[in-house]
């Protein structure tokens, strides 16, 4: 029904690829016994490893255990380790397990429990007629914990025990900001025809990602395959490449600030704190991020950032003059090396013909040297906030890098 967004699939694909296991297909069905059984049956014809996520909770619509047991013709039996897991989970939270949750200790006969360190529902691991069946709890934090701590070590051991030297499928992402996808594709040119590694471009949240995918005997060989392409791509796009793989723009900015021994403070109007949130998602950001002011009202801009009232009266709160004054005021008030000021119209209301929704001014004051950029972003309120925070980080990155 579309109530939840599936983040487990992407996580699982990354982790399995790392072991050389290709996630060839993901299937999503409703909480319906027959649909789940059918999906398991079909998957077992197609694949050697069938992983079922979700449906291990304590309620009536949690049907994955039953579906797997029925599909394989096995009874559900209480598993001692799964029982201990749910009891110790309750105890750690200072509660007694309710009778309802004991359903979560039932597993298909022959399955091993995959204990869940952050929840009541253990997963299950079952080898049956040459295939491996895995049950995993659905909540993403529990899913990730059981995959990392229980499933991956088991799969790794199995591959080693079988003496299989598997080809690993490895990808390398090169992250580009400040260019449209078509421009990146033009710069890549003939490289897009390459087979191993294959080269493709992807667009996500204001960034263009160049993805290299290689099939190799091991990670070492994959790295050797990537190296010459990375070198060429770097030559062609170096002014726009801010990171690789799981790197984020906020990490790239943090790294440069740390290298230069500089501190940062942020003055946010339309982004409402999102920029500070993203900067502080980076562990250790307290070394260079002093803090910021969310100046949502004009009074706060004037009183706490020292923006002159006349600037707001003459040019309006959304203007290059006010963005500059916010950046400057922020840097001075917090005694930081760099101040950022963002002011704009996130919508959906508040736009005019002259200043439409999506208009954002971003100012950077780096030790007294100020630059301001204007952008018109499209999309809904959250999109506009995101793109404004993204572009401000990009300006800062570009400035720190040059």
Does 80 interact with a second copy (rule: CB under 8 A)?
no
Read off the tokens for 310: 């006349």
Three-state secondary structure call for residue 377: coil
Read off the tokens for 189: 């040119």
Given the rule CB under 8 A, which of 125-133, 158-166, 280-288, 360-368 is the region that contacts a second copy? 280-288
Question: What is the enclosing helix (H) or strand (E) of 77?
Answer: strand 76-78
Q: Among candidates 402, 281, 400, 282, which has minimal Cα distance to 340?
A: 400
Does 6 interact with a second copy (rule: CB under 8 A)?
yes
Q: What CA–CA distance (Å, rounded) separates 67 from 29?
A: 12
**Single residue of 254, 272, 339, 344 touching a second copy by CB under 8 A:** 272
Q: What CA–CA distance (Å, rounded) separates 56 from 64?
A: 6
Q: Give the interface size with a second copy as a residue count (CB under 8 A).
A: 98
Which residues, at least 6 apart from 393, have a Cβ–Cβ distance to it below 8 Å?
249, 250, 253, 275, 278, 279
**Single residue of 33, 256, 294, 370 touching a second copy by CB under 8 A:** 294
Does 26 interact with a second copy (rule: CB under 8 A)?
yes
Half-sphere exposure of 311 (CA within 13 A, CB side): 18
CB 265 within 8 A of CB 291: yes
**Single residue of 201, 221, 247, 306 touching a second copy by CB under 8 A:** 201
Looking at residues 318 to 347 of the shown chain, list those that interact with a second copy (rule: CB under 8 A): 333-334, 346-347
Does 35 interact with a second copy (rule: CB under 8 A)?
yes
Given the rule CB under 8 A, which of 64-72, 96-104, 127-135, 150-158 is the region that contacts a second copy? 96-104
CB 173 within 8 A of CB 213: no
282 vs 395, which CB is nearer to a second copy? 282
Least Å distance, CB 8 to a second copy, is 10
Looking at residues 110 to 139 of the shown chain, list those that interact with a second copy (rule: CB under 8 A): 118, 139
**Single residue of 111, 114, 275, 327 touching a second copy by CB under 8 A:** 275
Given the rule CB under 8 A, which of 22-30, 105-113, 122-130, 219-227 is the region that contacts a second copy? 22-30
Looking at residues 369 to 388 of the shown chain, list those that interact with a second copy (rule: CB under 8 A): 378-379, 381-383, 385
106 vs 111, which CB is nearer to a second copy? 106
Read off the tokens for 81: 């380790």
**Single residue of 186, 313, 352, 367 touching a second copy by CB under 8 A:** 186
Phi, psi of 274 (to 5 degrees): -60, -40
Q: Which residue has tokens 């749910």?
A: 86
């Amino acid at each position: 029904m579309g109530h939840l967004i599936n983040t487990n699939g992407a996580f699982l694909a990354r982790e399995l690829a790392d072991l050389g296991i290709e996630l060839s297909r993901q299937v999503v069905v409703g909480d319906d016994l027959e649909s789940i059984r059918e999906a398991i049956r079909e998957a077992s014809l197609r694949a050697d490893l069938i992983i079922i996520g979700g449906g291990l909770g304590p309620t009536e619509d949690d049907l994955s255990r039953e579906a797997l047991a029925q599909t394989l013709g096995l009874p559900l039996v209480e598993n001692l380790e799964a029982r201990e897991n749910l009891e110790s989970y309750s105890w750690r939270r200072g509660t007694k397990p309710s009778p309802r949750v004991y359903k979560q200790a039932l597993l298909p006969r022959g399955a091993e429990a995959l204990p869940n360190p952050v929840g009541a529902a253990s997963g299950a691991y079952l080898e049956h007629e040459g295939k491996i069946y895995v049950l995993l709890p659905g909540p993403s934090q529990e899913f990730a914990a059981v995959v990392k701590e229980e499933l991956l070590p088991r799969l790794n051991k199995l591959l080693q025990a079988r003496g299989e030297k598997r080809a690993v499928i490895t990808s390398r992402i090169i992250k580009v900001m400040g260019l449209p996808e078509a421009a990146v594709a033009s710069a890549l040119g003939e490289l897009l025809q390459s087979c191993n590694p294959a080269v493709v471009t992807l667009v996500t949240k204001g960034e263009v990602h160049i993805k290299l995918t290689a099939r190799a005997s091991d990670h070492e060989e994959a790295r050797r395959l990537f190296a010459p392409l990375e070198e060429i791509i770097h030559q062609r796009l170096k002014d726009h490449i801010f990171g690789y793989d799981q790197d984020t723009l906020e990490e790239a900015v943090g790294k440069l600030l740390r290298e230069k021994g500089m501190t940062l403070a942020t003055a946010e109007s339309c982004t409402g704190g999102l920029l500070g949130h993203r900067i502080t998602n980076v562990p250790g950001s307290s070394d260079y991020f002093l803090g910021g002011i969310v100046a949502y009202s004009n009074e706060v801009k004037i009183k706490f950032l020292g923006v002159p009232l006349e600037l707001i009266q003459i040019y309006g709160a959304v203007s290059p003059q006010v963005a500059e004054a916010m950046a400057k005021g922020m840097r001075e008030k917090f005694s930081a090396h760099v101040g950022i000021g963002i002011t704009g119209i996130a919508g959906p209301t508040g736009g005019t013909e002259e200043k439409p929704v999506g208009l954002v001014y971003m100012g950077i004051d780096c030790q007294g040297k100020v630059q301001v950029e204007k952008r018109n972003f499209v999309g809904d309120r959250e999109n506009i906030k995101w793109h404004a925070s993204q572009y401000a980080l990009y300006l800062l990155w570009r400035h720190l890098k040059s």
